[in-house]
Structure 1
Amino acid sequence: MSTQRTRVGKYELGRVLGEGKFSKVKYARNMENGESVAIKIMEKDTLLKQKMVQQIKREISTMNLIKHPNVVQLHEVMASKKRIYIVLEFVMGGDLYNKITHHGRLKENEARKYFQQLITAVDYCHSRGVSHRDLKPENLLLDSYGNLKVSDFGLSALPQQVREDGLLHTACGTPNYVAPEVINDKGYDGATADLWSCGVILFVLMAGYLPFDEQNIMILYKKICKADFKHPLWFSSSAKKLISRIFDPNPKTRITVPEIIKNEWFQKDYMPPKFQEDENVGLNEIDVVFSDSEEHLVTEIKETRPVFMNAFELISVSEVLNLGNMFEQHMGLVKRQTKFTSKHPAEEIISKIEEAAGSLGFNVKKKNYKVKLQGANIGRKGSLSVAIQLFEVAPSLCMVEVQKAGGDTLEFSEFYNKLSSALKDIVWKPKVNKREIT
C-alpha cells in the first residue's frame, strides 16, 4: 500500500494525532536530527474567514511566554502559501483523561504528584500574565516519564485582554470545570478561575468522576455556583479540606496558589521544578507567518512511498512504553481514539469499514487508505464524525486507527461497539472487556 508523505521545511509529516474544528495535529520528524515533534496545521483561508488570525497570534504569543517543564513547549512557527504550522514538543504518553478512563481513579499519592506539577505550571503561567481558561484532564498530557504537560492555550488570555476594571469578561471553558464567577458573567480574575478548574481536576483524579455533573446545564451551573458537591469516603481529611477551600464560590476568599503550595497535604514529597528558560520565538516571526511575503515561506514537498511504521512510531501510539499494551488488548475499552489490528489485505479492510459504516448511516469518504465518516444525525455535541487511517506494521499485519474527529465521546463509544461487531471477522485476536466512558 502507498500514500503521499509530505515534507514541510526540515520536517516529514506522519500520522494524525488529533483533529479540531479548525486545525489538525500531526506527528512529524525533524529530518536533520531525528527529533519527534507535533505540528499543529491550520489553513490560512479558514483562519481569515473565521476571523481567527488574532486568536492564533495570541495562542502563539502565549506559548512563547511559557517556558516551563510542565508546559508543552513551542519550538517554532512556519508558514507555506496556504497553511500555518506550529511546531510543538511531542508528548507521547497520552492525556490524563485517557489515563483515568483506562485505569480508573488514581491513588492519592499519584494524584498529588500530578496536582503539584499542574499547580507549579499554572502558577508560572499566571506570573507571566497568562490565564489558561480551559484546564481539564484532556488538556493535560503525560510524557514518557509520566510527567504532566499543560497543553492547548487556544482559549488563554493575555494581560492586554483585561478591561479597565482589572477583570476578564469573555465566558469560556468547559462547563463542568468553569468557576462560578465565569458563569455569573460579571467579570472574573483569570488566575483565580483557573485555580477552581485545578480543584475540579484534582477531584476527578482521586474520585474518577466529576464533582459537578448534570445533563441539564442550568442545574449544573446552580450546583457550581453553590459548590454543591460531596467528597467520596476514601478522600483523606486533609485532601477534603484543601478541595473545599478551592471550591469556595467567592473568588475573593478562595485559597490562593501560594497558600496551596504551603498546604501540608500539597507539601508531601513536593519537589519544585528545576529548569532553564530557553530563547523565545521572536514576535516578528509570528507576524511574518501571517504576511504575504514569500521570503520566509517553507515549501511543501509531497512524495509517494509505502506507509510503514517503524519501531519508534509503534511505541508512540501505545499509551505507555510497554509493548504488552500494544494493539488495544482491551477491545471493549473505547476512548476518543482506539486501534485494532488485522491480518487481512488493506483493500479488504477498507471495504469492510465502508460497508459497515454505510449500514450504520454514515457518509463515507476514502482517500489513500484514510476514511472519513460523517454521521447523518445530530447528537449531543453535533453530528459524530470519525477519522480512520490504516498503517502497515509488518508485511502481513495492518493497524487501523479509529479516532473521534467531532461529536460526543459517548456516542463515539456506542458507534465503535457497533463497528467492531461488524468487523469482528477481520480483527486479529480481539479480547473483549466491556467498559464504558462516564
Structure 2
Amino acid sequence: MAHCPPSPCSTAGQWASLHQDSPPPPALSLTPTRDINHRPSWAFRPTQEDLFDRLDEFFPNHDLERPIFDPVQIANEGLPSPVEEALLPPTPTATLREAKLKQRKSIRVRDEERKKVESAREPPAKVANLGRRRSTKLWDIEVEEATPAPVKSGVSPTIPDSLTNEAPPAAIKWAKGELIGKGTYGRVYLALNVTTGEMIAVRQVEMPQNIGDEDDLRQVSIVKALETEQQTLEKLDHPNIVHCLGFEKTKEFFNVFLEYVPGGSIGSCLQRLGKFEENIIKSFTKQIIDGLAYLHANKIIHRDIKADNVLVETSGNCKISDFGISKQNEEIYKNADMTAMQGSLFWMAPEALHSDKGYSAKIDIWSLGCVFIEMFSGKRPWEGDDFVSVMFKVGHNKLTPPVPSDVQLSAEAEDFRLKCFTQDPDERPTAEDLKSHPWLKLPPGWIFEGFH
C-alpha cells in the first residue's frame, strides 16, 4: 500500500464492496437438458415461444389457471366479494358476477389467446430475425403486480372506504417470474404483461429502507437518478438499445419495465465459449457503436459499457442495456462536473477517476475499447489485476488495458484499439467518427450464424 497514491488507496475498499459484478445465475435454472435441441447452447435467455411453452417452469409461484382478481374493480361494479357471495343464496347478482369474472382471464387463457393471434399472422421472412417485436409501452399507465398466491379462504379482499359509480382506469397487470440477470444496480426478472400476454423483463432496484445506512444512501442516489431520467428513457427507440417500457414505484422496489431480449449477454457468451472470431467481433462492435452514437446524439452518457451490459439476440442483434447510472448532459462531448467513479472500474477511463476535471461521453468510447479486448481475449480487461492495482495504473499512470499475449491483432484492429484508448479525451474519436473505421467492414454477404 505504501506505493499507492492516496486517492486510489482511500477508495479501493469502497470499490471492492460496491462494484464487484455478480456472474449471471447458473445456466441450469433456465437451460434444461431438453432445451438444447430448441436453441443454441449459449442462449441463456430462451425465446419467447420457448417461455410460453414452459410457463410452469418460469413462473413457478403463480397459479396459471386462476383468473386475475381485481378487488377494486369488483367493488366499483357493486358486486359482492367471493367470501360474501358464498354466504348468499344464488341470485341474478351472483350470475352477473360470474359473467364479469369470466372476463378476468388467467395467465393460461391469455397465453392461449396470444397463440391464436400469432398463428393467424403471416410467417415472417427469414431475414426478419433482425426486426423488432414491439412491446406495449407502460408510460403514464397504472401498473400492478399480480400476486402469486390466490386469495385465502375466509379473507375478503380489501375494499376502498369510498366508492364511486365510475370505475377507475384498469391497471396493467404483470407477473414476476424467475431471476434472469444481475447487474451492478438491481436484479432483472422475467415478467409477463398479463393484460396483453406479452413477455417482458423487469429490473428491480430496492427502495432505501434505512436512510442512515451507507448502502441505502447509495440506493437513494440510484433511485433519484432513475426518476430523473424517466423522460429521457421514454424517448429512446433504437434497434441497438434495450427499449424501456415504463416505471413503477412501490414501497419496496423501483421497477423498470424493459423489452425482453432472448439470447444472452456478450459477457455470458464469453464466459461459456471463450473469445469470439473476428467477424463476430466486428459485427458486435459496430452495433455497439451505432447504439452509442444514438445515445450521444440524444445527449446521454451510458457510463457503464461492458460485455455484461450488451445483450445478444439469437439472430446476432446486439442491444445496449442497464441504464442505471446513465447521465444526460447537454454538452455531450464537453467535460462536465459529475459524480466521480460511476461505473465498473476495470472498464473505466482515466478521466472518470478524477473528479477535479470532470468527463464527457468520451468515457463510453474508452469502455468500448475494453469490450473490444474482452471479445478478442475472452477475458475481462486487466485480467489478473486487483482493484488497487488498476486504480493506480489507470488513474495515476493512465495506462491502457494490455492486449493478452495470445491475441494477435491486424493493423486495422490495432488502429481501432488505439483510437478507443486515446489518452486525451478531446482527441479521442466520437462514436459517430468510429462508424467509418475500416476495421469494421465485414466480408460481403456475411451474416451471423452463431458461435463456433
Contact 2:340–2:353 at 8 Å: present in 1 too?
Answer: no
How many Å separate the matches in 2 of 1:19 and 1:241? 34
Report the CA distance between 1:164 and its aligned residue: 10
Describe how 1:39-50 pairs up with structure 2 within 5 A: 39-44=202-207, 46=209, 50=217
Q: CA deviation at 1:223?
A: 3.6
Return the offset for 1:40: 2.2
1:190 aligned residue: 360
Question: What secondary structure is seen at the aligned counterpart in 2 of 1:202?
Answer: helix
Q: 1:41, 1:85 within 8 Å by CA — same for their partners in 2? A: yes
**Residue 25 in 1 paired to residue 164 in 2?**
no
Q: For the Cα contact (< 8 Å) 1:169–1:187, is it kept in 2?
A: no
1:137 aligned residue (295, 307, 313): 307
Instruction: Give the corresponding residue for 2:146.
Output: 7
TM-score by length of 2: 0.54
CA contact (8 A) 1:261 1:267 kept: no
Change (3 A) 1:182 1:91: same
Indicate the structure (1 or 2) with the bigger Cα radius of gyration. 2
- Number of aligned residue pairs: 274
Structure 2 Cα separation of the partners of residues 218 and 128 of structure 1: 35
* Equivalent position of 2:293 in the other structure: 123
In the other structure, the counterpart of 2:197 is 34
Displacement of 1:252 in angstroms is: 2.0
> 1:27 deviation in Å?
1.1
Task: Tell me the residue number matched to 1:155.
Answer: 325
After superposition, the C-alpha distances for 1:20-69 in whole angstroms (9 at most, x for unaligned) are 68744321122233211002234545497642441221343442232111
Measured against aligned partners, the alpha-carbon deviations of 1:266-299 in whole angstroms (never above 9, x if no partner) come to 233699xxxxxxxxxxxxxxxxxxxxxxxxxxxx
Q: Secondary structure at the match of 2:285?
A: helix
What letter is aligned with 1:243? R
Q: Deviations over 1:47-106 (max 9, x none)?
A: 976424412213434422321111111112234565443211011211111101111100
Equivalent pair of 1:212/1:229 in contact (CA under 8 Å): yes
Shift, 1:176, TM fit: 1.1
Q: 1:27 to 1:115 in 2, by over 3 A?
A: same
Equivalent residues in 2 for 1:206-285, closer than 5 Å? 206-224=376-394, 225-227=398-400, 229-230=402-403, 232-268=406-442
Deviations 1:132-170 (A, max 9, x none): 111111111112322111111111111279999644352
Asked whether the equivalents of residues 223 and 229 of structure 1 are also in contact (C-alpha less than 8 Å), the reply is: no
Does the CA-based 8 Å contact 2:382-2:401 persist in structure 1?
yes
| Structure 1 pair 238–23 and aligned structure 2 pair: CA distance change class (3 A) | closer
For residues 302-381 of structure 1, what are the structure 2 equivalents within 5 Å?
none
SS of equivalent to 2:230: helix
The residue aligned with 1:371 is none
Provide structure 1 residue ranges, at least 5 long, that are not aligned to the other structure. Answer: 272-319, 323-438
Question: Equivalences for 1:95-134 in 2 at 5 Å?
Answer: 95-134=265-304
SS in structure 2 at match of 1:226? coil
For residues 203-247 of structure 1, what are the alpha-carbon distances to aligned partners after superposition, in whole Å with 9 as ceiling and x for unaligned?
A: 111122244334343432344313262465532221011101211
Structure 2: give runs of 5+ residues left out of the alignment.
Answer: 1-55, 64-144, 148-171
Deviations 1:248-278 (A, max 9, x none): 222122233233112111233699xxxxxxx
Cα-Cα RMSD: 3.3
Aligned match of 2:119:
none
Q: 1:56 corresponds to which letter in structure 2?
A: L
Tell me how far 1:178 sits from its aligned partner.
0.5
Return the TM-score normalized by structure 1: 0.55
2: distance between equivalents of 1:163 and 1:263? 20
CA–CA distance in structure 2, aligned partners of residues 270 and 181 of structure 1: 39
1:124 to 1:81, Cα distance in 2 relative to 1, 3 A: same
Q: What code does the residue aligned with 2:345 have? A: P
Letter in 1 for 2:314: S
- Pairing 1:181–2:351 present: yes
Contact 1:93 1:141 survives alignment (8 Å):
yes
**Cα distance in structure 1, aligned partners of 2:416 and 2:190:** 39
CA separation in 2, counterparts of 1:91 and 1:47? 34
Rate the CA distance shift 1:208–1:25 in 2: closer, same or farther, 3 A.
closer
Greater strand fraction, Structure 1 or Structure 2? 1
